[in-house]
Structure 1
């Protein structure tokens, strides 16, 4: 490895400095020295704090270390010495002064930068804590939702079987408590898990001892005092004997009691006789009549504005030829009683019905489709074509109860109004065109001229456009003026002209027993 004297090394390095500013490859080619050696010499000078430029010939492109070394080296020089130094290095005094100002301002900015970094670091930590808390909250909510969903799927069968106040078997208690513990362990709150299982928290705690053992239901084993008015075994046997006598064998208790009363004998009340017969398995339906069947409540829907609930049906329009009928399709809005769609055809068809519903929807500009379309259970109403069209339009369906014809009262009432008009053809329609023309005139009269009694005698068109409030307010004002003119003619308030509120399709009965109760038999 060749060795170079200090004088030659200084002469070679001087070529890298101004005014020469040669690059390392050029110096290496001229003096036949390897570039690695030159790079090593230059880096050594930099480490000693001497200003050595980089590969660029322009002094503005010097590295920050070289500029800082130049500022330190010229800090003690006078103006003359600084000018001489700059000419040797290929610099201008203004450049050195600018570098000096940059070093001074950089020292001042370092403290500000440090404070800014600390402020930003604190803000980042605060934001990280906030995000971690939000993430923890979401994870907790997700775990809670998943636990409650699993609990609902597993416990719904047991919850439906269990009734409030009913006896809960030991195995069901153990299963419910196991599901409850699993849901709580997976992140569900205790009160939400208990509400979902429809079992109060106090009941769940009462089911289990402090050691964790599940207690059985002790109510069947409880010793209860017998009521004072309880029938004795002798009296119960006497009731059975009387009911099975030849004179009363074919009679129900409802007829046995008055017949015994006519004979001056009282053995028990009618309900007690029914109870005794039932306890001894002697209370069953007899005869050729069908036993009473429980009926369910019809589907109930509430309309609070137009185009929420429509009902539709098909009715016969007789022709003059005996046995020939046309078919009237009619759709009515139950809130306003307006006929929103109609058509007369020569057959019943689900395709024609779907076209009518679609045309009525477009005619009413129902960008928000009706919530429900109610009808009976006829073949056109249940056709797959109509169901597919309604699904496509986003309209839900509602149907009458099987075998019940009065669940679509609005459409039935509308058909009765139409067929009892004074100008309704008594002997039928001549042609299909005549039927359509007559229905067209009827629809115009019904919507725009007929004052409907169920909506305070405003026309369906006025209520459909929400003008009934204005019309009824004018009537109320007129009645108040009339009462003020002759108050002696009004003993009470004036007629109620307040607008009709929401309209219910098949409102639920106040007494459920009216629909769902079964009659007793004997």
Structure 2
């Protein structure tokens, strides 16, 4: 069983007639005494750590010549004994290094776990806060918030305080809860100051004693106004006509607004006559386009035909962000089915089926036809319409039609046939999209802005102007020309939104 023969135990048992169990016992006893008895099937590199250690111990006291002879007898190399000895000597160092490394790894893992636990707790709190805020906004009602100085009734104040307490109990910060109900923390503290739980101060402004204005009309003057307005001479006239007539007579009682205020206070200021009473129009919905194929606007304009009173109809769709004409067709009638086809083909041509889009139009029959609405719903397009009898809610299309009809090549005597009208519109669209330097786009073509080339072109112009100014600074008395991109474009912007994007629509 000793190397280099290392006869397997099974074969040795058959050759010598000794049982395998006995041979295993003998090998185990020899190993316990430190004798080198490796497994017969394993080569030196596959020996167990115990066998390698036994070989190192057995060869430790040998000199170089004896070691070489000993290695030859056992089928080993001196280099193997040397490597095994170094491994045995470094075993303790590796164990210590592994222990230190494991300890460091354990500390890092614990730190990472704590950081993850903190992040998880933070996200759980944020999620709970968001859910509680949703519940808070859903429950909120009445005249809560909505502007500084607005009077809030006592029941609504109590409701507000109760909702905020419930939200805070659910994990919402007081600042976020107050902001959700459009009131400040200072207002909430003022309501609760010095009051028991669940109670709030009532608004003291309705019952406050206020001094009368020094310029207030006296009771005699108010009676004089009513007497004049109800006299036979002025009974059928509004204050806007009564005041000038009194001035012609050399009488001044009060201003026109004071007349209206006194009549309103006595229930005598109402609309009269056959004309429709004035009404307040709701502002149009505002949309913002930050890129192409987000907001389109379209309309139909008439193109004169060969005979007076005959017309062709130009269907034209414009992207308000880039001012690119994305779809057009000429037909001999106005129909919702034709308009739906134009929109569908424009969507296919621009490959923007999956994008969110808004299509704005006026209130004409082709714009609101059933076929048109069905097509928009199928394409996932949001329909936007101008207000009734308000002509400037669709400014982009109107400005584009003006540019179209004021072209030098526009035939003043009309188009001979539909083919000529189509050819003219095709040439106009090609010029408008590819050659027309649009004033509202810092004189960049619609195709360039639609393709995203606008920043590069304007940056090149700005660099050119900077170099020109540096070359001749005495010629520049003010700022250089603005070559910055115009950015987002608004459709029907609110009063607090700049309308520079639609000032020069064409």
Same fold (TM over 0.5): yes
- Aligned partner of 1:121 in structure 2 is 106
Distance change >3 Å, CA 323–CA 257, structure 1 → 2: closer
- Aligned partner of 2:129 in structure 1 is 144
- Superimposed CA distance per residue, residues 179-231 of structure 1 (whole angstroms, 9 cap, x where no aligned partner): 11111222222212212211111110010134435233122222222222323
Counterpart CA distance in 1 for 2:436 and 2:82 is 100
1:208 aligns with 2:192: yes
CA RMSD of aligned residues (A): 5.6
- Aligned partner of 1:284 in structure 2 is 270
2:225 to 233, 239, 255: 239
Distance change >3 Å, CA 111–CA 331, structure 1 → 2: closer
Counterpart CA distance in 2 for 1:71 and 1:266 is 128
Counterpart CA distance in 1 for 2:122 and 2:134 is 18
Q: Contact 1:310–1:373 at 8 Å: present in 2 too?
A: yes
- Aligned partner of 1:250 in structure 2 is 236
- Aligned partner of 1:168 in structure 2 is 152
**Equivalent residue runs for 1:262-277 within 5 Å:** 262-277=248-263
**Equivalent residue runs for 1:221-236 within 5 Å:** 221-236=207-222
Shift of 1:500: 9.3
Shift of 1:131: 1.2
Instruction: Return the TM-score normalized by structure 2.
Output: 0.69
> Unaligned regions of 5+ residues in structure 2, if any?
1-5, 62-73, 498-506
Distance change >3 Å, CA 225–CA 213, structure 1 → 2: farther
Distance change >3 Å, CA 422–CA 99, structure 1 → 2: closer
SS in structure 2 opposite 1:406? helix
1:375 to 357, 361, 374: 361
Instruction: Return the TM-score normalized by structure 1.
Output: 0.67
Distance change >3 Å, CA 229–CA 115, structure 1 → 2: same
Distance change >3 Å, CA 304–CA 499, structure 1 → 2: farther
How many residues are treated as equivalent by the alignment?
476
Q: Contact 2:437–2:445 at 8 Å: present in 1 too?
A: yes
Q: Contact 1:315–1:415 at 8 Å: present in 2 too?
A: yes
Q: Which moved more, 1:202-211 or 1:295-304?
A: 295-304
- Superimposed CA distance per residue, residues 140-181 of structure 1 (whole angstroms, 9 cap, x where no aligned partner): 2112222222222222x3356754212211110010011111
Distance change >3 Å, CA 411–CA 431, structure 1 → 2: same
Shift of 1:120: 2.3
Counterpart CA distance in 1 for 2:88 and 2:409 is 107
SS in structure 2 opposite 1:356? helix
**Equivalent residue runs for 1:313-328 within 5 Å:** 313-320=299-306, 324-328=310-314
Counterpart CA distance in 1 for 2:449 and 2:229 is 63
Counterpart CA distance in 1 for 2:319 and 2:340 is 17
- Superimposed CA distance per residue, residues 482-508 of structure 1 (whole angstroms, 9 cap, x where no aligned partner): xx9xx9xxxx989x9766964654455
- Aligned partner of 1:85 in structure 2 is none
Q: Contact 2:158–2:198 at 8 Å: present in 1 too?
A: no
Q: Contact 1:159–1:197 at 8 Å: present in 2 too?
A: no
> Unaligned regions of 5+ residues in structure 1, if any?
1-18, 36-40, 77-89, 512-522
Counterpart CA distance in 2 for 1:405 and 1:310 is 17
Larger Cα Rg: Structure 1 or Structure 2?
A: 1
**Equivalent residue runs for 1:67-106 within 5 Å:** 106=91
**Equivalent residue runs for 1:424-443 within 5 Å:** 428-443=414-429
- Aligned partner of 1:79 in structure 2 is none
Counterpart CA distance in 2 for 1:290 and 1:498 is 48
Distance change >3 Å, CA 151–CA 126, structure 1 → 2: same
Q: Contact 1:159–1:198 at 8 Å: present in 2 too?
A: no
Counterpart CA distance in 2 for 1:283 and 1:125 is 79
- Superimposed CA distance per residue, residues 66-104 of structure 1 (whole angstroms, 9 cap, x where no aligned partner): 99999999999xxxxxxxxxxxxx9x9x99999998776
Distance change >3 Å, CA 383–CA 497, structure 1 → 2: farther
Shift of 1:411: 2.8
Counterpart CA distance in 2 for 1:146 and 1:463 is 42
1:196 to 160, 180, 183: 180
Counterpart CA distance in 1 for 2:214 and 2:124 is 61
Counterpart CA distance in 1 for 2:86 and 2:322 is 85
Counterpart CA distance in 2 for 1:453 and 1:254 is 44
Counterpart CA distance in 2 for 1:118 and 1:302 is 57
Q: Contact 1:162–1:168 at 8 Å: present in 2 too?
A: no
Counterpart CA distance in 1 for 2:443 and 2:96 is 85
- Aligned partner of 2:165 in structure 1 is 181
Q: Which moved more, 1:401-410 or 1:60-69?
A: 60-69
Distance change >3 Å, CA 350–CA 59, structure 1 → 2: same
- Superimposed CA distance per residue, residues 395-429 of structure 1 (whole angstroms, 9 cap, x where no aligned partner): 55432212223333343344445456676556654
- Superimposed CA distance per residue, residues 271-328 of structure 1 (whole angstroms, 9 cap, x where no aligned partner): 2221121111111111111111112334455667776654321123344467654322
Higher relative contact order at CA 8 Å, sep ≥6: structure 1 or structure 2?
1
Shift of 1:394: 5.8
Counterpart CA distance in 2 for 1:97 and 1:411 is 92
Counterpart CA distance in 1 for 2:322 and 2:460 is 15
